[in-house]
Structure formats: C-alpha cells, structure tokens
Amino acid sequence: MKIAVINFSGNVGKTTVARHLLAPRIPDCQLVAVESINADEGPSVTIRGRQFAQLQEFLQGPDNAVIDIGASNVEELLRLMLRYRDSQEDFDVFVVPTVPARKQQQDTAATLEELARIGVPPARLRLLFNQVDDDDPLERSFETLLAYCAASRVVQPDPAIVLPYNEVYSLVRSSTRSLVELAGDATDYKAEIARAASRSEVLALAQRLALHRLARGVVPQLDACFTALRLALA
C-alpha cells in the first residue's frame, strides 16, 4: 500500500496524518517526507520534490509507504506526474486532509480537481476532515468544500473520516515518538513525581504525564479515522 498525503495548502495537518494516523497503523511502513529544504535526520527519508525520478524508484521497493508531500512541492510533483505518464498509479490512495478555514477549503478543492485531471479516480481519493469542532456540524464548517464535492463528484466525502481538534498535535510536533508510542508509555508518572528531587523535575514529569493522558484520549479517535479510510492493506 503506497499512500500520498497531499494538499496544495499548508497548515492542514499533512504531517500529523502521515506520522500519527497512517504510519503507526500500517505494517512495516516507510515514511517519506517530500520537502524542499532540510534533510531529515530521523528514521524517515527526505526526497526533494524535483527529484521525482528518485521518488518513483523508491516506490518500487517497499510494500508499504506513506509519502508526506510538503505544500511547496505539490504543484511541481503533480506537474511531473503528467510528464511521467501513469506515474500516479504508483500510489494506491491519495489522502487529502483539510481544515475549516475557507482558504484551505478552496486549496483543497483545487487539489482534488488537479488530482482528477491527472487521472486519479474517485475510488482512490480520501478526503480527511481535520481539526473539526465537535460542536460545529461538518455541513456548516466545510460548506464551501462540500458544495464543490457535490458539484464536481471528484470524490465522495465520508463524514467518518474525521479528526477532531486536539492540542496534543501541536505539543508533539517536535517529538520523535508517535502518539501511539506516547499512549503506550508504561511509566508511572505519579510515582516518578513523588520521587522527584526538584520543582523543575516535577514540572517536567507533569508535562509528560499530561501528554501521555492526551495521547491516550486521542488514539481511539485516530483508530476510528483509520478504519473509516477503508485502506485495503495486504
């Protein structure tokens, strides 16, 4: 299973979706970041958008891969897909995260339209509603995008493919651990806090405890969203 996480817009949660939703739930998954700058020093691979031939070669190798495409690379990558005829077939699914902000909804519609133009059928597109307010119905918060989907029929929106807003995603932005790993942390933080020798150590442990609790609360939401994506994993 090769999955592209893509959107013309930034700030829609592409990296969150790739790192915390998809990669931890796909066996032996390679996580690839397609960025314009900065070599990744972590376990994932970083490929610049213009190195499309290299990306194609890479995709022929692993059985499972998630490709996190930075917003600055999307336009170039899609242009190269047209040049390398049928290269979109290297991806089984394109996950397109979006958020309620109007600009991001408009950029999401443009992304869906371009993916359809290069030959991606609706069955291989997944629209993911991110940063959703539990008190605001999808029909209202994503009115612009849903109207586009109804008129164009480039994708069939599924309201179950949703991630509610949670502050934990910003808190783990610089962490090397996934939310699944953080939720599974077996450390007895209450006992560690009781043994702490200084106020600063207590505060550090309290922050880790709060992050652990937030992770435990959000993992079931991630599990439900992953199930709703209906990925045909081998």
Residue of higher predicted confidence among 42 and 85: 85
Backbone angles phi, psi at 61, to 5 degrees: -90, -75
**How far apart are alpha carbons 91 and 83 in whole angstroms?**
16
How high is the pLDDT of residue 161? 97
How high is the pLDDT of residue 94? 97
Tokens of 148: 């586009």
**Annotated domain spans of the chain:** 2-165, 168-227
How high is the pLDDT of residue 187? 95
Q: What would the DSSP string read from start to end of 99-137? A: -SSHHHHHHHHHHHHHHHHTT--GGGEEEEEEEE-TTS-
How high is the pLDDT of residue 74? 87
Q: Is pLDDT above 90 for 150?
A: yes
Superfamily of domain 2-165: P-loop containing nucleotide triphosphate hydrolases (3.40.50.300)
Nearest CA to 208 among 165, 177, 229, 166? 177
How high is the pLDDT of residue 79? 86
Q: Tell me: the pLDDT tens digits for 99-129?
A: 999 999 999 999 999 999 999 999 999 999 9
Residue of higher predicted confidence among 67 and 79: 67
pLDDT-based confidence at 28, cuts 50/70/90? very high
Q: Is pLDDT above 90 for 165?
A: yes
CA atoms within 13 A on the CB side of 123: 3
pTM of the model: 0.89
